[in-house]
Amino acid sequence: MAPISSSGQSEILMASDLRLDYLHNHGDFSTAYSTLDPGLRSFLLEGVGYQAYAVQGRRVLGLFNPVCAGHDRSRLLQAFMTTLRPAGIFQVDGETARCYQELGLRTHRMGMEAAIMVDGFQLSGAPMRMVREACNRGRRLGYEVAEIGREVPASPATWARLQDVSRRWLATRIVKTREIGVLIRRAVYAPEDGCRKYVLLDPSGEIEGYQVYDPIFRMGCITGYTLTFARFAQDRLKGRHYFMTVAVLGRLHKEGCVRIELGLSPLYKVMEEDPLNASGLLPRLMNLVYQHGGMLYGFKGLALHKRKYRGKERPTYLAAPALIPLSALFGLVRLTGLLGRPRSQAVEPLASLTASE
């Protein structure tokens, strides 16, 4: 486990000092760092923790797990529900979904998350053939991975190049005119405390892509990272994503990193039998979008890519009142920008609501 870095400044971590202690001690889940995105609000229960949320129209939408100790989870969620009456809560783990069930909400799967357990990761075997070949190819052609702030300077020129890579990457996506909001935090082209930013260097030393790893915290230490951004301007190296991820994983393993979270595969396996996955119209609708909604987002491609790492999969959930789950889901879709409305118009400025008992 690694101590929290104090180098650089972080737009996210400076958003609210009141929440930093909670994050550093209880941010032990894949989206913990994203809870402090400047575009989100926070419901803060003094002495307990906080819950991230967004506002879309008149709807309050909870996002991610609460940041608090496990024994305080129910108390924080009860206060959040009573005070703000959210229309829905999205991308929570099984324990949090179970708490919402006990509070009277209906829970559904909304996709799967995957994590690589670093100690047990191996490239051997037939299932890892594609990843293994990508790693060998990258090394043979002279590609390298370097960290910003160490081998590569954290200079204005570096950040400008990353922004250019991001623009080029976006032009290759199914949805070319906007990025998916809310469930993916805003990109920050500057140093961020605890964050690790790596670049893919081609044989001439030019930056061809980059990845951003957000820290996962437990009791004041960084125990793992979430791969939040992976963007590439060129397509000259087949399997570049695999090559870069495995290279970074090797570096972090030497530092004592326990796991690498690969993030959410939206709408994947939403029809699986599960005590926390209520039946009804909503899971059938989500599965229909997964199967036939490729013009909106690359749902299948993303899930397939993450399966190649042979990581440990687990479901992630949404929770909503039984009578209005579709309304809550529609609010989330509007926030993400999948229907074309820019996120900057949908999410209100950062604000915090503090409650006491």
Give the pLDDT confidence score for residue 323 in this predicted structure: 62
Give the pLDDT confidence score for residue 126 in this predicted structure: 93
Of 45, 109, 49, 46, the residue nearest 266 (C-alpha): 109
The domains located in the chain, with CATH, are 10-112+269-296+314-336 (3.40.630), 115-262 (3.40.630.30)
Q: Are the C-beta atoms of residues 13 and 192 closer than 8 Å to each other?
A: yes
Give the pLDDT confidence score for residue 102 in this predicted structure: 96
E runs forming strands in the chain: 2-3, 41-45, 49-56, 59-68, 88-92, 106-117, 144-147, 196-201, 207-218, 221-232, 259-266, 312-320, 352-355
Judging by beta carbons within 10 Å of its beta carbon (0-12, 13-18, 19+), is residue 62 exposed, middle or buried?
buried
Give the pLDDT confidence score for residue 280 in this predicted structure: 84
Residues sharing a CB contact under 8 Å with residue 82, sequence separation 6 or more, in sequence order: none
Give the pLDDT confidence score for residue 329 in this predicted structure: 64
Give this prediction's pTM: 0.88
- For residue 158, what are its two tokens? 């570096």
Q: How far apart are CA 154 and CA 140, in angstroms?
A: 28
Give the pLDDT confidence score for residue 105 in this predicted structure: 94
Give the pLDDT confidence score for residue 345 in this predicted structure: 32
Q: What tens-digit pLDDT sequence spans the chain (357 residues)?
A: 554 443 333 334 334 478 999 999 999 999 999 999 988 999 999 999 999 999 888 889 999 999 999 999 999 999 999 999 999 999 999 999 999 999 999 999 999 999 999 998 999 999 999 999 999 999 999 999 999 999 999 999 999 999 999 999 888 766 554 555 557 888 999 999 899 999 999 999 999 999 999 999 999 999 999 999 999 987 789 999 999 999 999 999 999 999 999 999 999 999 999 999 998 888 898 999 999 988 888 899 999 999 999 999 999 999 998 766 566 666 666 655 555 544 433 333 334 566 655
3-state secondary structure 66-99: EEECHHHHHHHHHHHHHHHCCCEEEEECHHHHHH
Q: Are the C-beta atoms of residues 53 and 86 closer than 8 Å to each other?
A: yes
Q: How far apart are CA 160 and CA 156, in angstroms?
A: 6
Q: How would DSSP label each residue in 272-328? A: S--TTS--SHHHHHHHHHHHH-TTT--HHHHHHHHHTTT-EEEEEEEEE-TT-HHHH
